[in-house]
Amino acid sequence: MKFRLGLGSVVVTLLLSAAGPPALAQNAADTAVEAAKKFSGTTLNLLWQAGLQANDPLVFSGPLFEELTGVKINVVEVPLTEMFSKILIEHRARTGSFDVMPATPAWLPDLIEAGALEPLDDFVDQFGYREEFADIAPVYRVMGEYKGQIYAFQDDGDVLINYYRKDLFADESNKSEFKAKFGYDLAPPTTWEQFSQISQFFTEKFAPDLYGSARINAPGLVHYVFQERFRNDGGKFFDADAMKAQINDDVGVATLQAMIDEHRFMPPGVEAWGPIEVLSAWMAGDLAMMGWWPPPGRWSAGYGTEVEALAWLPKSTVAGKVGYALPPGGAPELAAGFVLGVSSSSKNKELAYLFIQWMNSKDISLQRTMLPFALRDPFRTSHFRSDEYKALWPAAPEYLETLEAAANAGLADLSIRSTAAYEDALTRAISAAFGGTGVKEALDTAAGEWDALTKQIGLETQKSSYLEWASKSNAYPR
Amino acid sequence: MSVPRATAAVSEQWVGGPFGDSRFKYFLIAPALFIMLSIALFPLINLLVVSFQGISIIAENKSFHGILNYQRLAGDSRMWKSLLHTVGLLLVALPIELIFGMAMALLFVDKMRGRQIFVALLVLPMVIAPIVAGATWRLMFDNQFGPINQIIGWFAGRDVTIVWLADSSFVWPAILATEVWHSTPFMFIILLAGLAGVDRSQIESAQIDGASAARIFFKIILPAIRPVLAVAILIRALDLFRIFDIIWALTRGGPGTVTETISTFTFVKAFEQFDTSFAAAVAITVVLILTAVTIYALRRIEIAR
Amino acid sequence: MAHIRISSLHKYYDSVHAVRGIDLDIRDGEFTVLVGPSGCGKSTMLRAIAGLENIDSGTIEIDDEVVNNLAPGDRDVAMVFQNYALYPYMNVFDNIAFGLRARKFPAREITARVQAAAETLDIVELLKRLPRQLSGGQRQRVAIGRAIVRDARLFLFDEPLSNLDAQLREGMRVEIKQLHQRLGKTMIYVTHDQIEAMTLADRIVLLKDGSIEQEGAPLDLFERPVSRFVAGFLGSPSMNFLPAKLVENGTYLGLRFADDVTLALPAAASQRLASRVGQDVTFGVRTEHITPARDGELDDGFVDLLVTIDLTQPTGSRTYASFKLAGVAVQAELRAHDVEQPGEQIKLQIDMNRAIVIDPSTELVI
């Protein structure tokens, strides 16, 4: 905990001085601050994901907001895996124990239908946020909308992009050997078949010093990979009429089978790897490619990794050698990603709203996405084009360009009623197949569970929820 | 001690207990009883009520749904499988813990140099919270950096990459090892206390009578520690039936549902999927099973009488 | 039947030297009592003979065979424990039969032998009972039954009567003595009770601090103790001891006490002690040798003394009375009505033939 204090004061001082004299034109951040000043002295309770993420409100935005408005920000850290439970339980018990509520889009249908989130449209108009709201990349902007109303602001540009080692891909001997073997030029893969072959090439040539790629296979996360690849290859989660699960169709089986087959070209034991294992191997220079969220783009360039909060991170051995690309198929998963909402049981909804408007505003959100340690990633058009951001490291313009392209083509996670149960069934099928169960058998089981869940939730209820989600442009590849 | 008395006379002295007024004892236990009822009975009744309702993530439907949830669980093969896993683990882990615990206790019951230190060290796993034990063993079983693969590698003479916690054929042995490591000390310490209470002269008398070690163990020691043994087995059996932390920390029931136990299943249903009433029905079913088994067991070991 | 030979037996418990080089021969059929205060090593010796304790050096032979490394079960001995060590979950029959079953006797012989042992001990009607349903005395019989049923060559008793009340103890003592006479087995019996030792033993081995202080027939030890310790240990009430000085006293020698009272020593003692005139000594005399003076001439070797009685302890048949001699309390054994009240004066006689004189520097009788 100690590092946060030291770090916080430094950051706050820096940003206060950076903010400079008040701007003449009122931006959304200033509006929010002005309006929040009347609540000076009150305390706002934030639920936040435990870990690095919490450094944002703990050492940066929280202290800064208090400095500006006199409102105290109290952060309640909860592990990601328990956040949804916590939110719903607190809501059902009407404890009102926190005001600001972060969520992933996949939880929104349940939370909104349960009445846990406050609709924000009126506040948006009252505090003049329309213009800056529109700056959020379209694919992210629609995340917090449900049945025509705004319930939350996308606050994090989470997307799985493909990182690759430019040095290895540009190496002449690699290039010629690869071409000789597979008959086409070595370049970031655009299909999963290419991905597998490139993995195979590097693994066969360099293992055990270097492997072609690795994947985040941890339960609870691996389903994102499946969701992405399944949809890129034309899969649909349900048939829209009967709401019958289709994840066990030919596309689903082929997707999962391919995922398993690729393990041959990944480091031994990759079946059990989580994000940290993949990231560590990447930073150590042991991988030619990796699919991950945006932060490694900054870290592998060495940006900001000297802060104490990131001391655990292996020192990058790949700085300057990292290329960024869309994953094969071209429509990356907007995996998880946080939105900010206001708890309907908050006793101070206006203040809670003002805080999230301030957090989410162009100005402040740019600062937050540039924090090295808070895991918030660019999600606004203005972020992608920020000169300030582009100047952070040499390849930053390329990075932002890739993130913008990814955001434009991105696929939202399946977000329907009781999504967690569907994700759980899918995750179990995938890990069972990794563990030795037949692919078809595993997916059949999962599809059976999906159908049972749908029946239990109510076919019509779930159908309308699914159609609401599927009608959004980011549900399936465009 | 020097004045033998007929047992009947001894027990007569204590009729009515140390406090003659029989109402006074109820007065004494009333506060404890009240607390027990409020923290145990009320939730249980509430659980029972909820199990007949239709509360789920979709709706807080508190109308009477009859035995719908119970019908659902009867047909839920995942639940029955998790129950089977639970019982299977119990049937394998309990004898192993018992045998190891007994062997260790027999080893350390005699006075020897450094005994106290050894016993203290051996009991250490017990003072570690199961969730921490699980998390620690998760690292031990890590296929990349974990010492277990390394040690096996030394013996095998080559790199071993067993993905302990993601491979269905290795995951149960991993859980079993963790559970046995964590819980054998409990058996050990209880049995050690039991063995320490065995009259040494009975054993010596049997030795002089020419009885073999096995005969002494089965005819003298085992009957003497039978009540202790029965309680230890009962406690461990109930613990194993409720096993959650270690499995949650190691595998969360995975891969797939291969290592799901009734507790992890109930947790997932209740707190991850908010299938609240269904989870309540599962919990009630488990309570019924455990109550029946416990009553039967207590009768068998003649403690509850 | 067995004879035991123990040579230079040593036993340490950590740093405590519990048995310090004991040599002891026990003859066939002899009833030997090991007696001494707690911590004297008597139980350790018994357990060493049984094989329950390892010994650090020396040898234990039974019938000329060194048994040092023989397991208890292979020594063909039987033992009765202080707390009986009955197996609580077996009935009396099974308790007695345990050793026979362990040694794989045929079932029919087991039944016959248990029956015979039970008859010997008069516990036939208890065979189906559990130990906890028995009284202390009954348990004791079962424990003895368990020992005799095997017909072992050597019987060991480890304070077997100490958990019984006084009355039962007396009865069991008689029975054990009868048992010994009937079976004729070699028996070694440990006790801290000198009365048990005196009444039961063919031979007493009196131990102190891990060494043998004196051994021999009970009356030998009682009448001719070699040391103040032996003299004080045996006999009840305990022997009176007083500091005195050996002085010339006419023809013979005398013992002069602090208050200048001098008691004349008889001729034999005077001769024996002649060279020690002028030395400080301890005078020892048993209560039964201080009795009311008869009228008329004193017997040879008797001295008389007029004393004031401080305290009386009537026991019925006789009364123990205390008086002060040279400031030290001394007990005399009187008849029931010799003294009615404390404070009365009485003339006592002391049998100086039976008194002992001890060198206080060595504590040995001189």
Let me know if residue C233 belongs to a domain. Answer: no
- Residue B21's pLDDT is 63
Percent of chain B with pLDDT over 90: 45
Domain that holds residue A83: 2-154+339-375
Of B202, B208, B212, the CB nearest to C50: B208
Residues C37 and C88 in one domain: yes
Nearest CA in chain A to B267: A85
Least confident among A399-408, A415-424, B155-164: B155-164
Residues A64 and A203 in one domain: no
- Count CB pairs under 8 A between chains B and C: 79
**Cβ–Cβ contact B131 with A under 8 A:** no
Let me know if residue A383 belongs to a domain. Answer: no
Let me know if residue C232 belongs to a domain. Answer: no
Residues A31 and A132 in one domain: yes
Q: Mean pLDDT for chain C?
A: 90
Residues A13 and A143 in one domain: yes
- Residue B12's pLDDT is 45
Residues A210 and A236 in one domain: yes
Q: How many domains does chain C have?
A: 2
State mean pLDDT over C27-45.
91
- Count CB pairs under 8 A between chains A and B: 97
DSSP C148-198: HTTT-SEEEEESTTTTS-HHHHHHHHHHHHHHHHHH--EEEEEES-HHHHH
Instruction: Write out chain B residues lying below 8 Å of A217, CB-based.
Output: 166
Task: Provide the residue type at B101 as one letter.
Answer: G
Instruction: Check: CB of residue C110 under 8 Å from CB of residue C137.
Output: no
Residues A112 and A225 in one domain: no
Last-in-domain residue among C227, C248, C279: C227
- Residue B18's pLDDT is 54
What CA–CA distance (Å, rounded) separates A111 from C212? 91
Residues A72 and A138 in one domain: yes
Residues A169 and A35 in one domain: no
Let me know if residue C16 belongs to a domain. Answer: yes
Residues A228 and A360 in one domain: no
- Residue C31's pLDDT is 94
pLDDT band at C215 (very low <50, low <70, confident <90, very high): very high
Task: Name which residue leads in pLDDT, B101 or B6.
Answer: B101
Q: How many domains does chain A have?
A: 2
Which has the closest alpha carbon to A366: A91, C352, A374? A374
Cβ of C83 within 8 Å of Cβ of B219? The answer is no
Interface of B with C (CB under 8 A): 1-4, 6-7, 199, 201-202, 204-212, 215, 219-220, 223-224, 226
Least confident among A10-14, A259-263, B129-133: A10-14
* pLDDT over threshold 80, residue A15: no
Task: Name which residue leads in pLDDT, B8 or A366.
Answer: A366
- Give the closest-approach CA distance of A419 to chain B in angstroms: 8
Q: Find tokens 């439907």 and name the residue.
A: B61
* pLDDT over threshold 80, residue B1: no
Let me know if residue A113 belongs to a domain. Answer: yes
Helices (H), A147-208: 166-170, 172-182, 192-206
Residues A169 and A137 in one domain: no
Let me know if residue A426 belongs to a domain. Answer: no
Q: How many CB atoms within 10 Å of residue A395?
A: 22
Nearest CA in chain C to B225: C89
pLDDT band at C299 (very low <50, low <70, confident <90, very high): confident
* pLDDT over threshold 50, residue A319: yes
Let me know if residue C79 belongs to a domain. Answer: yes
Let me know if residue C95 belongs to a domain. Answer: yes
DSSP-based three-state secondary structure for A211: strand
DSSP chain B: --S---HHHHHHHTTT-SSS-HHHHHHHHHHHHHHHIIIIIHHHHHHHHHHTSEE-SS-EE-S--TTHHHHHHHT-HHHHHHHHHHHHHHHHHHHHHHHHHHHHHHHHSS--TTHHHHHHHHHHHHHS-HHHHHHHHHHHT-TTT-HHHHHHHHHHTS-----TTT-HHHHHHHHHHHHHHHHHHHHHHHHHHHHHTS-HHHHHHHHHTT--HHHIIIIIIHHHHHHHHHHHHHHHHHHHHT--HHHHHHTTT-STTTT--HHHHHHIIIIIS--HHHHHHHHHHHHHHHHHHHHHHHHHTT---
Please work out, in degrees rounded to the nearest 5, the angle formed at the alpha carbon of residue A24 by the alpha carbons of A19 and A27.
70
In total, chain C counts a number of residues equal to 366
- Summarised one tens digit per residue, pLDDT across range A143-200 is 999 989 999 999 999 999 999 999 999 999 999 999 999 999 999 999 999 999 999 9
Cβ of A437 within 8 Å of Cβ of B256? The answer is yes
DSSP-based three-state secondary structure for A356: helix
What CA–CA distance (Å, rounded) separates B229 from B238? 14
Residues A113 and A239 in one domain: no
Let me know if residue A344 belongs to a domain. Answer: yes
**Burial of B83 per CB tally in 10 Å (0-12, 13-18, 19+):** buried
A63 is written with which tokens? 């202290």
C323 is written with which tokens? 């008086």
- Summarised one tens digit per residue, pLDDT across range B104-117 is 999 888 877 888 88
Q: How many CB atoms within 10 Å of residue C297?
A: 7
Q: Do chains A and C touch (3 or more CB pairs under 8 A)?
A: no
Nearest CA in chain B to C47: B204
pLDDT band at A82 (very low <50, low <70, confident <90, very high): confident
Least confident among A181-185, B12-16, C32-36: B12-16
Let me know if residue C234 belongs to a domain. Answer: no
- Summarised one tens digit per residue, pLDDT across range C333-349 is 988 888 888 888 899 99
Least confident among A138-147, A456-465, B1-10: B1-10
Instruction: Write out chain C residues lying below 8 Å of B217, CB-based.
Output: none
What CA–CA distance (Å, rounded) separates A272 from B250? 11
Residues C161 and C272 in one domain: no
A152 is written with which tokens? 């939350």
Rg of chain C (C-alpha set): 25
C1 is written with which tokens? 């039947």
Q: How many CB atoms within 10 Å of residue A124?
A: 18
Residues C16 and C103 in one domain: yes
Angle at which helices A222-232 and A419-434 cross, to 10°: 90
Residues C170 and C198 in one domain: yes
CATH topology of domain B70-300: MetI-like fold (1.10.3720)
- Residue A48's pLDDT is 92
Q: Do chains B and C touch (3 or more CB pairs under 8 A)?
A: yes
Q: Mean pLDDT for chain A?
A: 89
Residues A88 and A218 in one domain: no
- Summarised one tens digit per residue, pLDDT across range C181-196 is 998 999 999 999 988 9
Let me know if residue A222 belongs to a domain. Answer: yes
Instruction: Check: CB of residue C126 under 8 Å from CB of residue C99.
Output: no
- Residue A11's pLDDT is 46
User: What does the domain layout of chain B look like in residue ranges?
Assistant: 70-300
Label residue A243 left, alpha or beta by phi (over 0 means left) and psi (-120 to 50 means alpha): left
Residues A145 and A27 in one domain: yes
Last-in-domain residue among C202, C227, C252: C227
Cβ of C81 within 8 Å of Cβ of B3? The answer is no
Let me know if residue C263 belongs to a domain. Answer: yes
Instruction: Write out chain C residues lying below 8 Å of B210, CB-based.
Output: 72-74, 99, 102-103
State mean pLDDT over B268-276.
87
- Residue C280's pLDDT is 92
Please work out, in degrees rounded to the nearest 5, the angle formed at the alpha carbon of residue B177 by the alpha carbons of B171 and B178.
90
Instruction: Write out chain A residues lying below 8 Å of B72, CB-based.
Output: 456
The CATH number covering residue A207 comes to 3.40.190.10
Cβ of A421 within 8 Å of Cβ of B258? The answer is no
Q: Do chains B and A touch (3 or more CB pairs under 8 A)?
A: yes
- Summarised one tens digit per residue, pLDDT across range A356-407 is 999 999 999 999 999 887 788 999 999 999 999 999 999 999 999 999 999 9
Domain that holds residue C126: 4-227
Residues C94 and C196 in one domain: yes
State mean pLDDT over B206-225.
91
Q: A203: which residues sit within 8 A by CB, 6+ positions away?
A: A210, A211, A212, A264, A265, A266
Q: Find tokens 């119990």 and name the residue.
A: B90
pLDDT band at A10 (very low <50, low <70, confident <90, very high): very low
- Residue C1's pLDDT is 62
ipTM of predicted complex = 0.83
Cβ of A421 within 8 Å of Cβ of B143? The answer is no
Last-in-domain residue among C227, C257, C285: C227
pLDDT band at B302 (very low <50, low <70, confident <90, very high): low
A451 is written with which tokens? 């159908």
Cβ of B209 within 8 Å of Cβ of C98? The answer is yes
* pLDDT over threshold 70, residue A60: yes
* pLDDT over threshold 60, residue A248: yes
Let me know if residue C275 belongs to a domain. Answer: yes
Residues C45 and C114 in one domain: yes
Task: Provide the residue type at B204 as one letter.
Answer: E
Residues C172 and C291 in one domain: no
Least confident among A246-250, B220-224, C11-15: C11-15
- Residue B6's pLDDT is 41
Nearest CA in chain A to B139: A272
- Summarised one tens digit per residue, pLDDT across range A204-241 is 999 889 999 999 998 889 999 999 999 999 999 999 88
State mean pLDDT over A432-448.
93
- Residue B27's pLDDT is 85
Let me know if residue A321 belongs to a domain. Answer: yes
- Residue B176's pLDDT is 95
The CATH number covering residue C104 comes to 3.40.50.300
pLDDT band at B303 (very low <50, low <70, confident <90, very high): low
Let me know if residue A437 belongs to a domain. Answer: no
Task: Provide the residue type at B58 as one letter.
Answer: I
What CA–CA distance (Å, rounded) separates A52 from A96? 25
